[in-house]
Amino acid sequence: MSQTADATALPSINRAHPRYVHRQRLHLLPYLLVLPIILYEGVMMLYPIAQGFWASFSRIELASNRPSTWIGLANYERMLADPQFWNSMRVTVTFTVAVIIIALGAGLFTAMLFNRPFRGRPVARAALMLPWAFPEVPVVMLFIWIVSPQFGVINLLVRWIPGVTQNPQWLQIPTLAMGVVVLVAAWKAFPFYSLVLLAALQSVPQELYEAAKVDGASAVGLFWNITVPGIRSTLELLIVLASIFSFKQFNIIYLMTGGGPSLATETIVMRIYNTAFRFYDYSYGATMAVAGFLASLAIAVVFIIVQARRAQEYA
């Protein structure tokens, strides 16, 4: 029998059949469910990012009705030669590294503590999440009261230090102001890291600890040889998240110091805000925003590359 005869012998597809129409609807359903997310991301994220890139190559004067003009790379040349921009980047790196060390360190410590069974552990875990659940404005107001030179509670402890005869100006001295801002940001963030690390710790097989204890491993050996390798992927992910969260931290710094004193706490986000909305230099602020966006993107890309190489090693 010829191929033409075989083709004609095949049953034709009735596209008007209800079963075929239902199957087509099922195929379209995933795309319809994803469509609102795509529209939201496009309108609320991709479009502002594109506008920011366009503004960085233009001169926009918010205080006048003049139309924007294309100036090419002039804003980027100005940024690279601006010492205040590099100061804000240095402050941002210092702030980010300090918050990561303190917040992740406290999160790991509390996660290991709450991973052990003890009476009242559910209540303690719930209480641990309170700093993360509190709004940032009341938290900042509380800490401003704590470090107040006139009636701050922390001054009672500081006066016990030999040589300290008067209450420090916590938010007026550059080094102290940075320390206070870092501690507040770390205190606000560490419960989230603790919760994630606690879930990772509970996934580490207990048989590994029992076998290592039989072999005479110490507590330090258990931590470095079993705990850390078991939660390494989670730690790396949290380092990336903490870097991005700290890099774009605005509320705490703005409410506590506004970037002062003497630009000691002016991170890149504060610098962008001051440039664009206090000095009305919107195009230059957009240029620094693009630089901050690319820095955050680089952190995420490095993490993806590391995870991909590790997946290839274990494959």
Of 132, 147, 87, give the one whose Cα is nearest residue 245: 132
Q: What is the mean pLDDT of the chain?
A: 85
Residues 6+ positions from 69 with CB-CB distance below 8 Å: 58, 59
- Residue 131 carries which side chain, given as an amino acid letter? P
Of 14, 256, 10, give the one whose Cα is nearest residue 144: 256
Task: Determine the pLDDT at residue 21.
Answer: 52
- In sequence order, the β-bridge partners of residue 70 are 58
- Residue 85 carries which side chain, given as an amino acid letter? F
The helix (H) or strand (E) run that includes residue 121 is helix 121-128
Q: What percent of the chain has pLDDT over 70?
A: 90
Residue 1 pLDDT class (50, 70, 90 cuts): very low
Beta strands in the chain (DSSP E): 58-59, 69-70
Task: Determine the pLDDT at residue 9.
Answer: 47
On the question of a cis peptide bond just before residue 168, with omega within 30 degrees of 0, the verdict is no
* Six-digit token string for 220: 């330090």
Q: What is the pLDDT of residues 256-307, one digit of tens each?
A: 998 888 889 999 999 999 998 888 888 999 999 999 889 888 888 888 888 7
Task: Determine the pLDDT at residue 247.
Answer: 87
Task: Determine the pLDDT at residue 16.
Answer: 54
Say whether domain 85-314 belongs to CATH 1.10.3720.10: yes
Check whether 315 has a pLDDT greater than 70: no
What are the residue boundaries of the structural domains of the chain, listed by start? Answer: 85-314
Check whether 25 has a pLDDT greater than 70: no
pTM: 0.83
CB 180 within 8 A of CB 147: yes
Check whether 180 has a pLDDT greater than 90: yes
